[in-house]
Amino acid sequence: MDPRIAVIGIVRFPPDRVAEIRPHIRALVTATHAHDGCIAYDVAEDLFDAGLLRFSELWPDADSLARHTTAPHIAPWHAAAKACGQMEKRFHVMEVAATKTT
């Protein structure tokens, strides 16, 4: 299925709290892959900016993304992020005009 929606974002934590948030990220990603209809949902730690997590997501449509944002596993993620000192959060949603794989 070709993605129609791409999401790129960042979430920043105090560097000394990243190890604490990792199990919550794993739960978020696992649940999202299993239940939310995503095409891709990935999180990576920035190698050059301690505490910065980069999110990339591909969704088949806006409705799928909207359902994800209200899925049961999202509230626990937000609570864990807050408890672990989330300092910044920015996400950008874009429509994908066409895809080409090489």
Q: Which residues contact 1 (CB under 8 A, 6 or more apart)?
A: 39, 60
DSSP state of 93: E
**CATH assignment of the domain containing 71:** 3.30.70.100
Assess if residue 101 is contained within a domain: no
Domain assignment present for 70:
yes
Render 7-74 in DSSP notation, one character per residue.
Answer: EEEEEE--GGGHHHHHHHHHHHHHHHHHHS--SEEEEEE-SSSTTEEEEEEEESSHHHHHHHHTSTTH
Residue 100 pLDDT exceeds 90: no
Model pLDDT, residue 37: 84
Domains contained in the chain, number: 1
Domain annotation covers residue 102:
no
User: pTM surpassing 0.85?
Assistant: yes
100 in any annotated domain = no
pLDDT at residue 1 in the model? 60
pLDDT higher than 70, residue 101: no
- Residue-wise pLDDT for 17-76, tens only, equals 999 999 999 999 999 999 878 999 999 999 999 999 999 999 999 999 999 999 999 999
- Domain assignment present for 25: yes
Range of the domain at 32: 5-95
